[in-house]
Structure 1
């Protein structure tokens, strides 16, 4: 796997978007690449989800891991109606993802845009779910690493996998009912020993293997 730093600038919003690209090693299979956009948890770094990126690259994806929060950004609110006060922060992430999606298409002309995969941890997962709600035709699959606030889409597209931690409970209405899971093909995987704050490169080897295996199963179905 090859890592490449990529600095983008959205002139319309006057915003820098730092990205870490993860690509198949040079000389590997010439298969057509699929795009994946990875979003970190709040307070995290886009460079700290390498094990997830490695799992995706092995499945034929080029992965763009976005640094959503910048040092000049205001902190995300911790009081008030969560859905209301945090939605602007998720929306900013969605705009970042849309910009990076187009940048990937320019940088890799053969990339299969109709196969876009979104992956996000915690707040990054909430942002990915908001993207899926607002732009369902643009994402083929979405993977949530324990998002707890933004409801998972109740739709056949995009297909959804949500890995659930052993210590956090999602807000009411976030997770689909068993009937909805069956209707829309949504996959919920309960992780037995992985806590919410360990769903990044700081996880143990066993935790990483558990998460990577669930992701791989989802992507090969």
Structure 2
């Protein structure tokens, strides 16, 4: 074989190799992360004569974020303590860094009655869940007025404990207004057995849901409901009490479900 022909063949081989080689882009190039802007609203539901404070966590961006999804977060019960809607900032801030518009609702006010500690929870606590579901409904409607470009067709609810019960009740009452619901260890309000909205729950290692709240194995398969057991996280460590490892595990599961 002549030297000239060998050179041509070698050059052709190099071209072929280059055309089929795929260079993996770093994940940051595929999906940027954002700095977080925090704000607060003190909305007033005139029809119910009720103040509804809201903490906002938003991605800071010079450009409009297309198809930006909305997350409505509902805190657990803190005996009407103010600022409860900021007690899960490791979740709400993380979601904002990923491009989500997050509204965390303060459900209880100092003037509200405390939740009863005796009686059948599904009966004595139901009015509090109803109020929470209506808070969520009100905030979504208010955000639609002020932020019409957000993707409300794929609204996401996340709630811990009592806030999880509110979120699950909302899925019963307004299934067409929510796309996905994530319960962080709600224990009382039974899950709707439906294919939509999509339901997902992270369960603590120390608390057990009441009978009938969680779907059976067969129902999980039938309706596509996902249940994840957190072996190293107790119920009361799902807010900002969570340590670094717990925070990462919970956020990783949430973001995976939201993909």
Which TM-score band applies after superposition, normalised by the shorter structure? over 0.9
* Residue 185 in structure 1 maps to residue 220 in structure 2: no
Whether the 8 Å contact between 1:3 and 1:22 is mirrored in structure 2 is: yes
> Which runs of at least 4 in structure 1 moved beyond 4 Å after TM superposition?
none
Structure 1 residue runs of 5 or longer lacking an equivalent are none
Per-residue CA deviations over 1:147-168 (Å, capped at 9, x if unaligned) read 0000112101110110000100
Cα separation, 2, equivalents of 1:2 and 1:125: 25
SS at the partner of 2:72?
strand
* Gap regions ≥5 residues in structure 2: 1-35
Offset of residue 97 of structure 1: 0.5
**Aligned pairs (5 A) from 1:1-221:** 1-27=36-62, 30-43=65-78, 45-220=84-259
The answer on whether the counterparts of 1:59 and 1:219 sit within 8 Å (CA) in structure 2 is no
CA-based RMSD of the aligned residues comes to 1.2
1:91-120 deviation digits (Å, cap 9, x = unpaired)? 000110010001111111111111110110
How far did residue 28 of structure 1 move?
A: 6.1
Structure number with higher relative contact order (C-alpha < 8 Å, ≥ 6 residues apart): 1
**Cα gap change, 1:202/1:27 in structure 2, threshold over 3 Å: closer, same or farther?**
farther
Equivalenced residue count is 220
8 Å CA contact 1:156–1:185 kept in 2: the answer is yes
Mark the structure with the bigger radius of gyration. 2
Query: Could you tell me how far apart the structure 2 residues matched to 1:213 and 1:46 are?
Result: 21
CA distance in 1, matches of 2:90, 2:62: 21
How far off its partner does 1:59 sit?
Answer: 4.0
Mapped to 1, the partners of 2:87 and 2:199 lie a distance apart of 23
CA contact (8 A) 2:59 2:98 kept: no
